[in-house]
Structure formats: structure tokens, C-alpha cells
Amino acid sequence: MNDATASPAPAAGTADGGLPGPLVSADWLAARLGEGAGTVLFDASVGAHRGAALRIPGARPFDLDGDLSDHTSAVPHTMPGAPQFTEAMRALGVHDTDTVVVYDAQGIYSSARAWWMLRAMGFDRVAVLDGGLPAWTAAGHPAEPVAAAYDGPRGDFTARPRPGLLVDADTVAAALADPAAAVLDARTRERYAGTAPEPRPGLRGGHMPGSASLPFGELQRDGGLMRPADELRTAFAAAAGERERLYFSCGSGVTACVLALGATLAGYGGLAVYDGSWSEWGMPSDRPVATGAGAAGGSGSP
């Protein structure tokens, strides 16, 4: 998938499934879950937050550290191919006619990656829970102990990949030279500048020359809720100027998807996520690296 302007393939689940948009509130989700069948809820937490003590009742694991990454890749969190993704979704009981909501235990962190992956595989009936598990419990909704695994019936999900939503290093290199495109980096300001070490060993510090810094935390408020659309648009305009074709990078392709979510909420089109992100670009190679301050400040991302 390497053309950010390619026409999407026909999608499974193309209707909105009753979703108000790519973001839903805790109260909306509680009401939806009370309506019965047809809604699949995924916990897409990663790292230390995966397998947290509590989950939203009935949530199934969307394991970005496991079956939902391609472990033959040299970099973490690489998108699996369509056959692997189809099998994973079917094993998790997802049907093409379902509506999917994803959340994570940190707020909005890795849940946006699950949302973008489903869209990249041609499934549009998906949204992110605004504020994630913290917002759910803060609203007084119930939680339950995390189950070890999903053991329900299989689904009939079929992946229909869309070219261009996830792109490779060569596509990003071309975007960096394109005056109509902007490459935005979701990592911390310090990692972008090369003044803080990378958490993954062996990577060079700094950023892609010509990219701009927009840490994903700058798009959030009140403990993980996304900012209003007008504030999001202002943040993107500050980093990207008048450019409307946007490419997103981070440490391993996870929080770059928070930028993709924010840009979608702000009304942008023509969006793409660099799947390898800094885990690939930052490897020792002849790909150029720059250091120094970027276009915007902010908070952290791996």
C-alpha cells in the first residue's frame, strides 16, 4: 500500500452502522451496548496497559502486540497482510455487518491504530471511544475483570485492502519532497529534535528532514479526550500550513494514527500513515536524519 491518493477498494461494512462519526462518547457506547447484538467492542491496549485489570464488559482483545501485527517484519506493529487480518477478525467473531468500537486503557493511544487498520482493510463501521477506559469509568459505567481470550463464535469478516492508507518509506520520502504534502511526526518534541534517546535500541535520534512536529498529545485534553474540531484544525494548520495532503509518522505506527483520527475529525482528506515510522526510518541507513526543534511542541508517544 503505497499511494496515498489511490481510490479505495470496495469496502466491507461501508454503511456507518449508526455511528455518529469516527469518535463516540462513553454514554453513546453504553446506550449502544444496551441495544444487544451487532456491536463488537475491542480493547486495543498495548504494552504495559495490555491485560490491565479491568475492561469494559464484553470487550474482546485487539492484540497489536500479537496476532494483529506482522511478526515477520523487522519493525514492530507492522500491518499484517489481508489473509492474516481476515483470520484474526474472524477468530474474534467479527462479521462484515457488525459495528465496531475500539478503546484502550490510556485514553486514546493505541485504539486509533486499530481504527485505522480496520479502515485500511476496507471496513468503515468503526469508531474510537473518546477518552477510552478512563472516560468510561469516570462516567460511572461498569467494568469487569479482563478475560484471558475471546472464546465465542467465529465471524465472517473479509478484508478488502485499500491502497494508500498505510504507506512505505519510499512514499514518505517522495512526500517530503512534495510541496503540496506535509509529513507530521507524533513523537515528543525532544525525540523529534534528537535531544531525548529513542526507546528502541539501535535507532538514530532526530527526524526526517522536512517533516514537522505535532505530538499526538497536543490533540487531546482532559485526560485523553480529543479536542473539538476547530481546535484540531488550528493545530494541524500550525504544523502543516495550507497543505491538505498529510502523512503521519511516530515511533512504530501507533500514535501516528491518533494524528490520522484528529485530521479526520478536523475535516482533512488524503491521509496516510507511515507504517514503519521511526522504527524503520531511524535504523542505520542512508536515509537522511535531521536534528533540532520542529514546528510544534507537545507530549509523548512511542
DSSP labels for 185-202?
E-S-HHHHHT-S--SSTT
**pLDDT 10s per residue in the chain (302 long)?**
334 433 333 344 445 789 999 999 999 999 999 887 799 999 999 975 565 679 999 999 999 999 999 989 888 899 999 999 999 999 999 999 999 999 999 999 999 999 999 999 999 999 999 999 999 999 999 999 988 789 999 999 999 999 999 999 999 999 999 999 999 999 999 999 999 999 999 999 999 999 999 999 999 998 789 999 999 999 999 999 999 999 999 999 999 999 999 999 999 999 999 999 999 999 999 999 999 985 443 333 33
- For the stretch 123-179, pLDDT in tens is 999 999 999 999 999 999 999 998 878 999 999 999 999 999 999 999 999 999 999
| All structural domains of the chain | 23-145 (3.40.250.10), 168-281 (3.40.250.10)
DSSP result, the chain: ---TTPPPPP-BT-S-TT-SSSEE-HHHHHHHHTT-TTEEEEE---GGGTT-SEE-TT-EE--TTTTTS-TTSSSTTPPPPHHHHHHHHHHTT--TT-EEEEEBTTBSSSHHHHHHHHHHTTB-SEEEETTHHHHHHHTT---EEPPSS--S--------PPTTSEE-HHHHHHHHT-TTEEEEE-S-HHHHHT-S--SSTTPPPSB-TT-EE--GGGGEETTTEEPPHHHHHHHHHHHHTT--EEEEE-SSSSTHHHHHHHHHHTT--SEEEESSHHHHHTSSSSS--B-S--S-------
**pTM for the whole thing?**
0.92
Pairing, β 126-129 against β 23-24: parallel
By annotation, the residues acting in catalysis are 250
